[in-house]
Amino acid sequence: MSSNWGTELWDQFESLEKHTAWGIEFLEKYTKFLKERSEIEQNYAKQIRNLAKKYQPKRNREDETRYSWCVAFCSSLRQLEVLASQREELSENLSENMQELSRYTSDLKSERKGHFQDGRRAQQHIESSWKQLESSKRRFERDCKEAERAQHASDRLDLDRDGEKARQNAQQKQFNAEESRKEYETSLNQFNQDQVQHYRTLVPVIYQRIQDMEERRIERVSETMRSCAEAERKILPQTSRCLEGLLDAAARIQPRQVVEVYKSGFDPPGDVEFEDYSATMRRSVSESSYLDNRSEGRRHSRKLWPFIRKNKVQSKPGRNPI
């Protein structure tokens, strides 16, 4: 709604003083609010970032890249880091808004101070003008009474020489009364001029400045509120992309994978053959063991018995030819 404080609130100086003071209190509260919100976001971003760092896999790169679920987890950690940097960006943005608002508030404080000083100066001027009017009015009233009394006195005494003196006195008092009437008229005119000047010019101008100031303040609140909401809204699409990335990573997970890594490429052992010691009686005592036995005509035979505890080495085909 449109309005003009200079004309409509001409008698609300103190109300405006309270109101604008409250407005500045609000700016300071809102600044503090933004500061705390920004700190919350920063703290949140930090925790997210630390979480991502903490869970970086310790195992060798080969495993991370070999297994799709390791790959997915790593990329989900990267997405988390992106989320963290978005929150840092938001925190940064809120903190900038907060700093600007704080600078603006201190400027506004001094501007306001100036306007109310002008208001008080105008008030002092019209008050002194009023005192001047009052005193000259009283002097005129007093002089009129004295003139009246002197007139009575001279009327009572007749044409003797006391009468003459009283008449002169009455004339003098009359003269004084005329003088203070002039002075009273002058300060009356002066006061009425001052009053017109005060209510038609000074108050409207000063109050208009206060009104502009207040309206700028409120617009600033609106702007800051909008700018902070925009900052937060700005990261939503980025966040959404992050989560899409996470979903893709999850979708790319391949449940069937291990074989290629561990496959030895060998076949299970075949039947053990009969050794006829009665046929070759010259033969020396056999020291054969299951392993030696399986060795016949084979390399890497160690790999053919998966259950033997001693066989810790699990070499891949082609790695150790002998």
Q: Is 21 in the site for a second copy (CB under 8 A)?
A: no
- Per DSSP, helices labelled H in the chain are 5-8, 13-54, 61-66, 68-156, 161-196, 203-251, 259-262, 290-295
Report which of 64, 83, 109 is spatially closest to residue 217, judged by C-alpha positions.
Answer: 109
Amino acid at 248: D
What is the dihedral sign for C-alpha 48, 54, 55, 57? Answer: positive
Nearest CA to 243 out of 50, 14, 46, 82 is that of 82
Alpha carbons 298 and 304: distance in angstroms, whole number = 10
**Does residue 255 belong to the site contacting a second copy (CB under 8 A)?**
yes
Which region among 91-99, 110-118, 164-172, 265-273 touches a second copy (by CB under 8 A)? 265-273
The amino acid at residue 296 is: E
Instruction: Name which of 166 and 210 has its Cβ closer to a second copy.
Output: 210
Among 24, 26, 82, 102, binds a second copy (CB under 8 A): 26
Distance CA 17, CA 25 (A): 12
- Rounded CA-CA distance 148/177 in Å is 10
Asked whether position 60 contacts a second copy by CB under 8 A, the answer is no
Torsion sign over Cα 121, 127, 129, 131? negative
**Cβ atoms 8, 14 nearer than 8 A:** no
Binding test (CB under 8 A) with a second copy, winner from 159, 160, 278, 296:
278
Nearest to 96 by CA among 44, 51, 41: 41
Binding segment (CB under 8 A) for a second copy, from list 90-98, 100-108, 153-161, 233-241: 233-241
The window from 10-18, 93-101, 108-116, 161-169 that contacts a second copy (CB under 8 A) reads: 10-18
Contact between 59 and 73 under an 8 Å Cβ cutoff? The reply is no
CA pair distance 182, 122, nearest whole angstrom: 26
Residue (151 or 160) nearer to a second copy, CB: 151
Question: Quick one: 141 or 164, whose CB is closer to a second copy?
Answer: 141
Q: Are 250 and 80 in contact (CB under 8 A)?
A: no
Residue from 160, 289, 296, 310 that binds a second copy (CB under 8 A)? 289
The answer to the question of residue 263 lying near a second copy (CB under 8 A) is yes
| Residue among 53, 103, 138, 156 that touches a second copy (CB under 8 A) | 138
For the window 107-126, what string marks contact with a second copy as x by the rule CB under 8 A? ------------xx--x--x
Pick the piece of the chain touching a second copy (CB under 8 A) from 89-97, 98-106, 155-163, 226-234: 226-234
Residue 322 within binding range of a second copy, rule CB under 8 A: no
Nearer to a second copy, 51 or 205 (CB): 51
How many residues of this chain interact with a second copy, rule: CB under 8 A? Answer: 124
Residue 112 and residue 18: Cα distance in Å, rounded?
A: 11
9 binds a second copy (CB under 8 A): yes
Site string for a second copy, 144-183 (x = CB under 8 A): xx-xx----------------------------x---x--
- Tokens at residue 169, please? 């006195």
Does the footprint of a second copy cover residue 292 (CB under 8 A)? no
Q: How far is the CB of 9 from a second copy (least distance, A)?
A: 5
Which part of the chain contacts a second copy (CB under 8 A), choosing from 100-108, 155-163, 165-173, 210-218? 210-218
- Tell me whether residue 164 or residue 219 sits nearer to a second copy (CB atom): 219
